[in-house]
Amino acid sequence: MDSLLIEGGCTLQGEVTVSGAKNAVLPIMAAALLTEESCIIKNAPNLSDVRFMGQILASLGAKVEFDGDTVVIQSKEIHGRGDYDLIRKMRGSVCILGPLLARLGVAEVSLPGGCVIGSRPIDLHLKGMEALGALVEIRSGYVIVRADELVGNQVFLGGRVGPTVLGTANVMMAAVLAKGRTIIESAACEPEIVDLADFLIGMGAKIKGAGSPTITIEGVAKLHGTSHEVIPDRIEAATFAVAAAATRGDVLIHGARCEHLGAVLDKLSDAGVSFTRGEKTLHVTGADVFKPVDVTTQPFAGFPTDTQAQMMALMTLTDGISVITERIFESRFMHVSELARLGAEIAIEGGATAIVKGGRPLSGAPVMASDLRASAALVIAGLVADGETTVKRIYHLDRGYERIDQKLEKLGGRVRRVKES
Ligand code: EPU
């Protein structure tokens, strides 16, 4: 298992380019199951999760070819059973359910189970497919959905904490080949849903309203192949913005779409960070004094849960108390105890709220990454801390950040990947 060795106390400076969005490319790859024809997906990030989705599609019979940042997928002869040993490794793989159901009339996929950030149920995905006429059965750890014919319907996808991103993706992918009109209410508004809708529209689907809480889909009989460029990763852009701010650096982030980053930029501004918005760039130019801010995670366009951990690392540097409330996932504070190992003072109250008493100097230590975004927070803290930090288990980081060690090194971060047995 590789570790990242970080010598703290650097100032990040220079230019960095954000890769394609992990959470956009995964459902888009699954959507290629909807047609026999070839789909060309450009700007696909070279990440273990993306290669893994390729393996899952190949296990279903699709031909998947990677060439640099392009993936070509042809799903001529496919079957509908997604194996437990593959599916359990990546929660995002649940988005093969909708396309398999639409294309084959049956999908049998191992239940993804929970993960370190929470229990992660799929009841809303299944509710949506039932509304389109599918029969749902859970047997021996597998969810089996089948329908002789899918028929459009009104589907409400709001859950306990709001809409579901992959649930919206799944229902949208099932509805594009259903008979008649589907209206998804309380749909997720994330930019990754808009990108998926654009891909499906390129395949011949009729979709209106993606990016708003109401998505209308007129089913079509058949879809065809297409070519599509994946949007840049807004969470990677936010992570570099926070890292640049935390190290009081000066970093021009190419591929940052500021319209996808509104809530993050608002909080960075409140925290005293200076930046300039460009058309497809964000230029972070540091901060004189960091100010504490209160952050509550919400569905888009609110503050993203995927940037909560990184923001917490920044808040340890302010002179004052910040309150961070996690409203999307119930146990997404695994980074707190590891940040404490670096000297941060953070208390968790009632499970969903973290009180960060900033201003204590951070000093390097060995820390353990528990999930993707927690790892990013530890890297940011390590860049600032005095001395050496070793972030262990960085395979989490490799799931969602393309060549992050090289990108940081190019910005002047003293970061080295260490191979461990
Ligand atoms: N939920 C339900 N029932 C469902 C589905 C979701 O109750 O059927 C709940 C979840 O338990 C959670 C909330 O709804 O409390 C939101 O979950 P959502 O379904 O929106 O999450 P997701 O689609 O499984 C995607 C991203 C996550 C990101 C979340 C929220 C992918 C592959 N994953 O997950 O990304 O945190 O949306 O924005 O797109 C990450 O990249 O690090 C990551 C975890």
**315-350 residue pLDDT tens:** 999 999 999 999 999 889 999 999 999 999 999 998
Element spanning 284, H or E:
strand 281-287
Best residue among 164, 194, 196, 303 to mutate for probing ligand 1, ranked by most atoms within 8 Å of CB: 164
| CATH number of this structure's domain 2-18+232-419 | 3.65.10.10
Mean pLDDT of all residues in 175-201: 98
Q: What is the pLDDT of residue 174?
A: 98
Q: Which residues of the chain form CATH 3.65.10.10?
A: 2-18+232-419, 22-223
Which residue's CA is the nearest one to ligand 1's atom 29?
Answer: 165
Q: Is the pLDDT of residue 417 over 90?
A: yes
Contact 371, 115 (CB under 8 A): yes
Q: How far apart are CA 50 and CA 55, in angstroms?
A: 9
In this structure, the chain runs to a length of 421
Is-contact 246 380, C-beta < 8 A? yes
Whether the pLDDT of residue 117 is over 70: the answer is no
Residue given tokens 């951990």 in the structure block:
309
Of these residues, 10, 39, 115, 189, which one is catalytic?
115
Residue 84 has pLDDT above 90, yes or no: no
Clarify whether 115 is annotated catalytic. yes
Read off the tokens for 403.
Answer: 């060549």
Instruction: Check pLDDT > 70 for residue 115.
Output: no
Q: What mean pLDDT comes out for the span 164-179?
A: 98
Distance 24 CA to ligand 1 centre (A): 13
Residue with CA nearest ligand 1 atom 26: 23
Q: Which CATH superfamily, name and number, covers 22-223?
A: Enolpyruvate transferase domain (3.65.10.10)
Report CA(166)–ligand 1 centroid distance (Å). Answer: 7
Is 160 near ligand 1, meaning CB less than 6 Å away? yes
Binding site membership of 305 for ligand 1 (Cβ less than 6 Å)? yes
- CA-nearest of 222, 249, 228, 253 to 238 is 253
| Mean pLDDT of the residues in the chain | 95
User: Residue 299 C-alpha to ligand 1 middle, in angstroms?
Assistant: 10
Name the residue with higher pLDDT: 181 or 370.
181
The string of DSSP codes covering 190-202 is -HHHHHHHHHHHH
Dihedral in degrees, nearest 10, Cα atoms 366, 52, 119, 215: 130
The percentage of the chain sitting over the pLDDT mark of 70, rounded to a whole number, equals 98
When pLDDT is averaged across residues 355-367 and rounded to a whole number, the result is 96
DSSP code for 145: E
Residue ranges of the alpha helices (H) in 154-307? Answer: 165-175, 191-202, 234-246, 262-270
pTM of the model: 0.97
